[in-house]
Structure formats: structure tokens, C-alpha cells
Amino acid sequence: MPSASVPPRSAAEVLTADTHTDPDGWLRGLSWAVVVFSLAQILVFSFGRDQSIYAVVAEGILHGQVPYADLWDFKPPGIYFIYSTAFGLFGKTMLAPRLLEVSLVLGAVLGLRRLGETFFDSRTAGIMGGACYALVHAQMDFWHTAQPESFAGPLSVFALVLTTGSWSRHHWPWACLGIGLLFGCAFLLKPPFGAAAVACGYYLVSQRRSQGFSHGAAWLPFLWIGLASALPIALCLLWFKLKGGYPALSWTLFDFAPGYTSLSWKGKEAGSMFFHTMTEGFFSLSSLLGLGVIAIASIHPRAEREREALLLLISVLAFQFVGITVQGKFFQYHFAASTPFIGLMAGQGYYKLWRRLGPGSLSSVLSYAAFMVIAATMKLPVNDTPGGFWQRSLVRTQYLLGGGRTISREDLDERLHYVAGYNLAAARQAAVEITQLTRPSDPIYIWGFEPVIYWLSDRAPSSRYIYNVPQRAAWQADRAWQTLWADLQARPPALIVTQKLDTMPFVTGSPLDSTDSIPQFPALQGFLSTHYTSVKSVDRFTLWMRRADGAHSP
């Protein structure tokens, strides 16, 4: 018997029927689309100033040089090994660390999806948290990504996945080993990230005590995690000892770096600084994260383990926030290791809101969608890049879809990759001039804060100081200057670059740029005037070639 004809359904009927069948399907699909979009944007980011520093040091590691001793910076050593790993895997290109970063961010999204299933009984909540994290990470743009925090965040997520897994009696020691190794590597990026191992260790202890383990047996995971976390740190210190770089590491991290940190603490007190960290991380960094945190806190829990999850996440964040407070700079990227966990909290908040408002009717779905658009666009982490995130994303998408043919890499950098006193296109132009004026074997020296020129020109620096912040800083300047001067005497540069417009009072403690600070160093001023001639000006850079009669050591 032929079936009766079925009248076509309206769009509202289709939507409500489909959402009743799978009310979370829309969210998962859109969340994955946001993740893919965000990862594509990150892949196109070029180097900022910090990324250039890491790249120069990492390239040196691959050629047998030692951080701090041969190539100086004052970040903990983990970031240089990550960049050297990226270059070893993918070659010397700005894409290499981005490929590694995107791989880890994607892994963290999958980890958040797993944590959502574990704690919130919903992979959808987890993937929504992953989408929040990936989008906020992409919104930090080129300057605030591929930083130590950018890599420490995924490592910490992986550690939490191991912490919350269901392990048999035979497998839990291996899980603890993995947790410890991950946090040990995070410690090498910045110590507070490794200290979060305490939160995971205590979580496992409390779990085992609730399961009836004896006091001693309950604390075994804490011991295993502690021992395992010490292993990467010990291996790193041993490597520096064997390479002869430990004295330079010690001076940098324990003498120079504290002076840099102290700049932010003048007239401040710890309580207000920590409160500022919390408000910045939870609410001021991004409206997408802030409104999601409000949602999870204000809507009644849907999952039995939600409060347990919040306790663990806040415990991990507490260690990270202490580290951010100690640094005292509150740069956006300082929060990049925290955004996965805040994102997971936000994802659960938005998921609970969806279940309250979304699936019932077309109007409620559209209202929810409008609210999410507002949340994602109202307050972004970065507001000083030219054009803003969404306009810049359009340019990057055109570049990706055109395969670099409609917009060249150089055009993209000229349009997007400049901020404050940094301009990648100008640095590239200076590097091109340097390659025409010098031989590949000639060392050069940059009196400024643009080490990307070394990397772009493929010229070795004459000094271990690949930028001049230590000499211009208000502390440790005498020692740093004496070491620089000895380096220049031992290996006179064939060309010197002096830079303007690189004032950074929050870093150096001085309002002068590099060129204006030269008179404060009479030996350098005399060195330039006696042995070098100004031959070219490129934007903010002046190129000085060594005179033929100045071939002897200064």
C-alpha cells in the first residue's frame, strides 16, 4: 500500500526535531569548526620579538652552542629545546614551531574533550571548552603565542588526563611517571607550571584514601610524581654542566632575572597583585572565558563530579597564578598556560546554558547563538595589533586559500606582523641588505632588540648577547657590558646594526631606545666612530660597515 505523502517541514521543525534527536550535535560541529579555524590562523603567524630570540638560541643548540653561555636570553631553558626540536623536525622556518604548537594545541583540545567526559559526563562540554581555548589562543595573535606558556598549557592538560584516568593496580605507577615527566618538562618552561604537580599528586592521594588505601599506600603516587618530575630537570642541569654552561645559567636565572622581575613590584603588595592576576585571568583577558566562568558558577551543576573538577582545576590554576603574580608583568601570553583550564570551565558553563536554553525551539537556539557570538567578540585578549583579530583573520584566510599566490609571505608580514617598536618587514629588509654587504662567514652585531635579523640574514652574532637589554638594564649592566665588550674584542663584527624605536621601560627600566643610549657607553661610541662607517639606513636600522683600516681588534 503506497504511503501517504508527507508534507515538507519548515526550517524550525527540522531544527527542533534534529536537536531533540541529538541536541548536542550542533555544538560539537560548530566547536570543531572553531578549533580548525583557530589552528589554521596560528599556522600563519610569523615570529614576534620573543619568538626570534628563541629561534636564534635554538638554532645555536643545533650547531653545538649552549644557551646563556654562547647565546644569551633570560627565559628558562625549556623553550629553546622546544624550538630546536621544531627546527630539527621541520627545518629552519617560521612555520616549524607553529606546526609543533598547533599539534600540541590540538592534543590539548582532545584532552579537554576527555576531561569533559570524565568530570561532566559530556564530551560536548569538553570540546566546547577546547573550542574556547583554541579561539582565545588564536586571538592572542603572533606576539603572544609560541611562548613558553603556549607549550606548558598542553603539557599540563596531558598531565591532568593521566591524573584522572582509570588505571589498574599495575598501570598507575606508569601513569604517575607520565604525570611527573610532563610536569618536569613544564617546570623547564617556567617553574610554577611544574609546581602544579603538587595539585595533581594530592588529588590522587585523596582519591586513594577515599578508596580505603592505607596512609602510606595512598601517598605513593605523590612520591612517584615527585621523583619523575625531577628527572627532566636533573637531565637538563647535567647537560648544562657537561657543556660548561651552568655558571652562565646560574647568573642569568638567579641574578639577572630577579632584577627584571623586581621592576614590576615597586610600590606593590602581594595581595593586590594576586587579586589582579585572578580578575585578569578569569574575567578581563577574554569575554568568552569570563562569561563562561560566570555561567558555570551560576547554573546548578548537571554532573555529579562538577565540583570535584572545579576544585582540581582551581588548584592547578592557583600555582600558575602565583607564577604570573611573581612575574608581575601581566602580559597576555603569561595566561596562555591557564586558558585551557579556564576554557574547560567556560565550556561546561556554556554547555549548561545550552541545555537550559538551546534545544527547545528555533528562537532559543538563535538567542543562544547570538549570545555566543557576543561572548566571542566583546573583549579579545589583544587589542594593539593593526586591524584587529577578525580583519587580520580574513587576510590570513585569503593567504591560506590562495596558497601564498594571491598574497605573498612578505606582503602578509608587511600587513600584519608589526606592533609597538617591532616590524618584521623592516627587519627582513635590513637582513637582505646585510646579506649583500657581508659574506656568510662574517659575524655581525646588533645594538638593539631585533635578533630576528641574525636569523633572517643567516649571520652569526659576534657576541653571546643577541640583544642589548642586559647592557641597557638598570641592574647587572656593568657585568653584561664588560662581557659584551670582551666578546667584541675577541670577534670584531664585520657589520654593526644600531636600532631606533625599541624603547621598553618595563623591560630595561630606561626610557631611551638603543641609539639614544649609545652615549652612555663611550667605548662603544668610540668603537663605532673609529672603526666603522655608516653605509645604509633601513627604516629604524642603521648599518655600519667595518673600515678596511679597522681590521685589527679594537
pLDDT of residue 287: 97
pLDDT exceeds cutoff 80 at 550? no
Pair type for strands 532-538 and 495-499:
unpaired
pLDDT exceeds cutoff 70 at 552? no
pLDDT of residue 477: 87
pLDDT tens-digit series, residues 102-152: 999 999 999 999 999 999 999 999 999 999 999 999 999 999 999 999 999
More confident residue, 551 or 466: 466
- Grid cell locating 244: 660548561
Going by pLDDT thresholds of 50, 70 and 90, the confidence category of residue 508 is confident
Going by pLDDT thresholds of 50, 70 and 90, the confidence category of residue 254 is very high
Mean pLDDT of the chain: 92
Rounded to whole angstroms, the Cα distance separating 119 from 502 reads: 48
Q: What are phi and psi of 509, to 5 degrees?
A: 80, 10
Contact 420, 531 (CB under 8 A): no
pLDDT of residue 21: 63
**Length of the chain measured in residues:** 554
- Grid cell locating 338: 591557564
More confident residue, 186 or 508: 186
Rounded to whole angstroms, the Cα distance separating 487 from 157 reads: 43
For each of the domains in the chain, give its residue range(s) and CATH number, in order of start: 44-264+277-377 (no CATH), 420-550 (3.40.50)
Among 134, 146, 21, smallest CA distance to 93 is for: 146
pLDDT tens-digit series, residues 405-461: 888 989 999 999 999 889 999 999 999 999 999 999 999 999 999 999 999 999 999
Span 84-102, mean pLDDT? 97
Look at residue 533 and give its three-state secondary structure: strand
pLDDT tens-digit series, residues 17-67: 444 567 788 899 999 999 999 999 999 999 999 999 999 999 999 999 999
pLDDT tens-digit series, residues 260-304: 888 778 888 999 999 999 999 999 999 999 999 999 999 999 899
pLDDT tens-digit series, residues 299-328: 999 899 999 999 999 999 999 999 999 999
Answering whether pTM is above 0.95, one says: no
Contact 109, 133 (CB under 8 A): yes
Going by pLDDT thresholds of 50, 70 and 90, the confidence category of residue 549 is low
Rounded to whole angstroms, the Cα distance separating 161 from 157 reads: 6
Q: Which segment of 98-107, 271-280, 357-366, 534-543 scores lowest on mean pLDDT?
A: 357-366
Tell me the percentage of the chain whose pLDDT exceeds 90: 79
pLDDT of residue 11: 41
Burial 41-71 (b: 16+ CB within 10 A, else e): bbebbbbbbbbbbbbbbbbbbeeebbbbbbb
Among 154, 157, 64, 141, smallest CA distance to 100 is for: 154
pLDDT tens-digit series, residues 323-353: 999 999 999 999 999 999 999 999 999 999 9
In this structure, which amino acid lies at residue 74? F
Tell me the sheet residues that pair with 545: 495, 533
pLDDT tens-digit series, residues 470-495: 998 877 889 999 999 999 999 999 99
